[in-house]
Amino acid sequence: MLAMACAVLGGLTGTLVPRVAYRLCGTDRCGRKPPGWLWVPVGASAFGGLGWALGPVPLLGAALVVAAAGLVLAATDLACLRLPDALVGAAFAGTAAVLGTASIVDGDGRPLLRSLLAGLGCAAAYCVVAAVPRTGLGLGDAKLAGLLGFLLGWLGWPAVLLGLALPYACNGPVVLGLMLAGRVHRHTVLPFGPALLAGAYLAILLVR
């Protein structure tokens, strides 16, 4: 029942994604993006999967905040290679509020401390990678990785490690397919935000 309610909420959220992404990108001609209707099943699947995997716990609220922002971030990154700081920051504030409240209620600050360390570690790791020439990663990717690391840290270090590895496993076949189809070449800059989000989502499903 919870998973179904989350799926409905995700579908409704998906209807808003194209409009919000358009405003953040500033133009509808800045790149190709999936059709607007596609975000409805994507949102329903993402929210429903989180509801099924996590159940009625505080982490679900935090995960849904990140998922809602993640849908828009994926759309903007696909459309114009942008991961707006304002949206990442708002998602972090919402996530921190939910998990911080849960720590106070439970009287246990260890999960929150682990989340903070994981977020800083993931952001630092991606900053190092972004500094390497021709990796195609930017500071926006590093900030998003920090947000996702903060969320995954609440689950534990295995989830964090999966969240670091799975984006490359998700992105590799896609890039290879595009190269074989002649759509991109080795120096084409491609969005990595959707892979980061997909990797974190899979990490939650696998760990839980």
pLDDT reported for residue 123: 97
Q: How far apart are CA 197 and CA 90, in angstroms?
A: 16
Q: What is the DSSP letter of 186?
A: T
Name residues of the chain where pLDDT drops below 50.
Answer: 28
pLDDT reported for residue 207: 93
CB 38 within 8 A of CB 15: no
pLDDT reported for residue 174: 80
The dihedral formed by the CA atoms of 5, 164, 71 and 36, expressed in degrees to the nearest 10 = -110
Token pair in block for residue 43: 């949102």
**Backbone region of residue 156 per phi and psi (left: phi > 0; alpha: psi in -120 to 50; beta: other values):** left
pLDDT reported for residue 77: 93
Q: Domain residues for 142? A: 2-207
Q: Specify burial of residue 54 (Cβ count, 10 A radius: 0-12, 13-18, 19+).
A: buried
- Count the Cβ atoms, other than its own, within 10 Å of residue 122: 26
Report H helices in the chain: 2-25, 39-54, 58-80, 85-106, 110-131, 139-153, 157-180, 193-207
pLDDT reported for residue 30: 54
CB 194 within 8 A of CB 42: no
Sign of CA dihedral 98, 67, 85, 117: positive
pLDDT reported for residue 22: 86
pTM: 0.93
Quote the number of domains for the chain. Answer: 1
- Count the Cβ atoms, other than its own, within 10 Å of residue 172: 11
